[in-house]
Structure 1
Amino acid sequence: MEWQDQAIVLGVRRHGETSVIAEVMTQTRGRHLGMVRGGRSRRMQPVLQPGNRVEVTWRARLDEHLGQFQVEPVSLRAARLMESATSVYGVQAMAALLRLLPERDPHLRLYNALDIILDSLHAPHEAGELFARFELAMLDELGFGLDLSACAVTGTTADLAFVSPKTGRAVSRTVGQGWADRLFSYPDFLARQGAAAADEVTLAEAFRMTGYFLDRDIYGPRRLKPPEAREGFIQAALKAARAANPSD
């Protein structure tokens, strides 16, 4: 069996003396593993760095086998991703999220989002917003998406200001103002297209909300702990937002 696809490197682990097992997120075949012969060579090590976009050719005798990858570079952005804390932690945190997906289960939306975000992680003012949206997309792809399109009570799509921790549905400002201490704030940068950029406060609110639903619906039932890289990314993103608005 053989196929070819675009892919983004998530990580590698040593296999024997010269080879590695590469873990990639492919465009059409989901998260996939394969052995790369000579993966520890000087030529291949720079290519097999997390965040790089590559073209992979997978071969195996049977579909259920691990198989072998032939890997060719397409966009080697790993060096740039080492330049800031948001990008270093962001790559690790997104890879950890993608490992929650079943292997070989296609998720084109997540592949495209990952590819876009990796090109923006070095810009801290954008990274926080994009990562929060990525977590919402992950919840949706795993079957636990939030319904943020309209107020759960009135059905209105205007002035949505809160999110219910019980139902994961949006609540309008009028309905929710008396229960604000029991609801999550729905940050403007998520709620409204073209809203003002996120700041330290709205980013913190967004990550508190996504973290709650990830813990309740995914990590908790699987008895997993959230990846440490997520907290590292959040702190780096909040620090960047604080530096961008020193007077706040």
Structure 2
Amino acid sequence: MRVTTPAIVLSLRAHGEHGAVVGLMTPEHGLQAAYVRGARGRRMRPVVMAGNLVEARLAARTEGQLPHAELELNHSRGPLLAEPLPAAAIDWATALTATALPEGQPYPRLYAALDGLLAAIEAAPAASGWGTAMVRYELLLLAELGFGLDLETCAVSGARGDLVAVSPRSGRAVSAAEAAPFAGKLLAMPAFVRAGGEASVAEILQGLALTGHFVMRDLITDRALPVAEARTRLVERLVRMGGE
């Protein structure tokens, strides 16, 4: 195996005295874990920060061997990690991707969406600039892994209009008329989830509550508590800081 590819750094796990196993998201080879010599040294630490774009040269002698990687920094998002809200967003998006995806399977749409989400966080650190992209990324991740939500028609009446909620059990949309008797038992669906466009921080929090229910139930469950904690930090900072 010899591959040269752009990649997004997702995770880092110490291995040996100075090295680390680095999780990388690539456009054509999906999630890749590779050993990076000296990853925790002074020269490489700025390169292997989560969210960075790198050029990765992967090499392995056999198919089952952990590849070794040489990484060259293409674009750093390190400065964002000093800002609490953008740092929490990058931490969650990269940790979720590293945890949910199987290794070695290509997900080019997810790579493009994650790249776009990280670029949005960098361009507009306030949540109003990237919050909707985070919700849409989680929806796409669910769909790509076989847990997509049905948000096109009402689960009860089949109507296509005035869809305002989602069943927490089936993941199907519910219209306002059909949702009224079940107030408090359904997940709110803000308008931007279906129609696109901008959203307030309150609507973004509603969207994250919607997608978060299914992400935690279907993708994370109880096997990755630290990942769940990363999402909790993101939501708490959104609430505390009002998205600023």
Would you call these one fold, judging by a TM-score over 0.5? yes
In the alignment, residue 25 of structure 1 is paired with which amino acid?
M
RMSD: 2.1
**SS in structure 2 of the partner of residue 227 of structure 1:** helix
- Structural mapping, 1:16-35, within 5 Å: 16-35=16-35
Return the offset for 1:224: 4.3
> C-alpha distance in 2, partners of 1:153/1:58?
51
> C-alpha distance in 2, partners of 1:176/1:124?
29
> C-alpha distance in 1, partners of 2:59/2:84?
36
Per the alignment, residue 230 of structure 1 pairs with: 231
> C-alpha distance in 2, partners of 1:19/1:242?
36
Return the offset for 1:163: 0.8
Structure 1 runs of 4+ aligned residues shifted over 6 Å read none
Per the alignment, residue 140 of structure 2 pairs with: 137
Per the alignment, residue 66 of structure 2 pairs with: 66
- Structural mapping, 1:166-185, within 5 Å: 166-185=169-188
In the alignment, residue 204 of structure 2 is paired with which amino acid?
L
5+ residue gaps, structure 2: none
Return the offset for 1:191: 2.6
Per the alignment, residue 217 of structure 2 pairs with: 216
Return the offset for 1:232: 0.9
5+ residue gaps, structure 1: 244-248
Per the alignment, residue 113 of structure 1 pairs with: 113
Per the alignment, residue 207 of structure 1 pairs with: 208
- Structural mapping, 1:144-159, within 5 Å: 144-159=147-162
- Structural mapping, 1:48-63, within 5 Å: 48-63=48-63
Classify 1:223/1:68 alpha carbon distance in 2 versus 1 (closer, same or farther; 3 Å): closer
> C-alpha distance in 1, partners of 2:128/2:37?
39
Name which of structure 1's ranges 177-186 and 158-167 shifts more when overlaid on structure 2. Answer: 177-186
Equivalent pairs: percent with the same residue?
A: 36
Q: Deviations over 1:48-68 (max 9, x none)?
A: 111100111111111221011
- Structural mapping, 1:88-99, within 5 Å: 88-98=87-97, 99=99
Classify 1:14/1:164 alpha carbon distance in 2 versus 1 (closer, same or farther; 3 Å): closer
- The size of the alignment, in residue pairs, is 239
**SS in structure 1 of the partner of residue 147 of structure 2:** coil
Classify 1:126/1:237 alpha carbon distance in 2 versus 1 (closer, same or farther; 3 Å): farther
Classify 1:181/1:227 alpha carbon distance in 2 versus 1 (closer, same or farther; 3 Å): closer
**TM-score w.r.t. structure 2 length?**
0.88
Classify 1:178/1:50 alpha carbon distance in 2 versus 1 (closer, same or farther; 3 Å): same
For the Cα contact (< 8 Å) 1:124–1:240, is it kept in 2?
Answer: no
Q: 2:199 aligns with which of 197, 216, 221?
A: 197
**SS in structure 2 of the partner of residue 11 of structure 1:** strand
